[in-house]
Structure 1
């Protein structure tokens, strides 16, 4: 089977909820509807975890410091996040996905890839599946979702942004390569600011510029990502939708209201982080061998310390013992500490990943 036939056979949908956290809050509180809203803390060190579309008109974005968000939008309303509610709504959405395909790869609470090449409803047109899923999400949750449909994950992800909010777009095998060539590389999913800047220094501004570079050039300059960039510049992305994708790490962190310069107090702050990490591990029936502590100082410089055991940890006490020992290695602190994080990696569970490609049919998008 040639490359184009293999690529055109797959039908991939990227579903992305519109301003998910903020939309849930506006759904549940009518007084917030139509108003600029940020989910997060309003304190000096708070961060906007999400912003409503009304807030985005003022330039407010997710992950923006709260003080910056408030400066951009003086009328901004801050709402404390309710992650247990967001998780419950996310589960409702995933149950809708599961009515169509078992091949679901969640990226977060509010977005996922679906491979609907062979789907449970026998529907031949992926755009119609996306329309139906979005309608069901609206009926069940009252929320809007956007979708991108294409023959691979990269282009499906790019397509889902084209008609946001509450819309969808399709990129076909015929127009995929030309779509990529005209796109600025800084807008490519998977190309962060640092990589975009490096590409800029190398004279790569667009997909066409990227396509002009050889595989050897891209591998020499971008290492393991080189072959991926070489492929997407041509509209090629062979990554399968992986419903059994295993996380590489589980972590939690916290920014303090006041900087900490005392080891005992800092060690105490590790406990709720360890509890969050282990709670997630228990829910997913996983564990890990490597404990890492992240320390961010008042001047925003940071350090990490890690320790790997011979076997996976079995509880909070082991995480705390490792984390507190690691934290003590950087004491006395070179600056007061503004943030601590705890991560568990080298994860293990009873499941194994499956590398086989799913059978593909030549169906119309």
Structure 2
């Protein structure tokens, strides 16, 4: 199919790099460059067009052998910020799909209006059963604050880097503020046909401010977006749990002080063994809670790195400032390797793992309790 699209002309087009054929044959329609130019006079040159759709992976230049030292995102190279300059006026376009919407990366307007995640692959609407099975808005709407936080930081960074105008940034920020107010007042209409919290907020923002909202997803994917949201949520959850642990510890200490000198039986193997002070027993729980808090805080330190800029997997070629967004969101630093970002979509496992032993009534039980 690819070779059939190469027209015969005075300046015949040539695919000179076999890696490109492999890349194109394995690319998914929504995650590949929408159009690529080839001109035979420039034997090994193959530059991607700067497309309008957000799914274009500009790091294809790196895979095709281009070297660029100014890496602004993990695993990628600098973007080509202007259209491809082709010396040959009889250049041809290699179309990568039969759908007109893929040419130059344009997505169907009705898809953007619907905000459906599946709109790029299917012409007909999904059934209610499939929609209910695939939606996540019923539970991930809890991430709305963190999603809006990330979008605010991302919009500010895009404006400072010159990727959007200050006017667009201001419109986006005002729209996000209004959406947050609507959600907190219970007036926001969550729609399952928009699948998740990201698409709901993105579509609502487009309805509110129009064109500027469509620029917000520049140099961002839902992949790094949801990873960022979840890390922000986990960080807040850890802080809240640690605070409650501290309150519980204070209550236990106060209870111990009220029962100064009170002796109670201490147990081993469910049998009364030795007399102990109630204060001593209560302080054992205080110490165990301190271990739990320490585990949580250690988890917080390890997960407090910003995924933004990793995009779908290999970063972006656009000149973003990952340190700016990381600092704005209170992260220690950006994640250093984009590929490592996505295994941590299961960050909840890492988050809850510290509690498996204390809650399992194993050897972490305080001495003197009936379980020992």
TM-score w.r.t. length of structure 1: 0.21
Which one has a larger percent strand, Structure 1 or Structure 2?
Answer: 1
Which one has a larger percent helix, Structure 1 or Structure 2?
Answer: 2
Larger Rg: 2
Higher RCO, Cα 8 Å, sep 6+: 2
